């Protein structure tokens, strides 16, 4: 289990990274120009103040594989 005490969180809109972000919109069937990037700043119980954690694709609640 991983835990972090959140000090602040923010987001910005950035260019998609091929292989990490969707580069094609499923809704508009057009290239994706911007994707949200969520940043969380805080500390772990060990006191590590800075870390970077890329997220894998997360299935939405109730979404099926087929």
pLDDT tens digits for the chain (66 residues)? 678 888 888 899 988 888 888 888 888 889 888 888 888 888 888 876 655 655 554 444 444 554
Q: Which domain holds residue 23?
A: 5-43
Q: Is residue 35 part of a domain?
A: yes
The count of domains in the chain is: 1
The residue among 61, 59, 42, 60 whose CA lies nearest residue 50 is 42
Q: How far apart are CA 64 and CA 66, in angstroms?
A: 6
Q: Is residue 64 part of a domain?
A: no
Q: Which pTM does this prediction carry?
A: 0.55
Q: Is residue 51 part of a domain?
A: no
């Amino acid at each position: 289990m991983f835990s972090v005490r959140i000090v602040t969180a923010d987001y910005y809109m950035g260019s998609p990274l091929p292989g990490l972000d969707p580069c094609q919109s499923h809704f508009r069937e057009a290239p994706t120009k911007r994707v949200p990037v969520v940043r969380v700043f805080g500390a772990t119980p060990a006191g590590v103040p800075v870390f970077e954690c890329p997220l894998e694709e997360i299935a939405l609640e109730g979404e099926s594989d087929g």
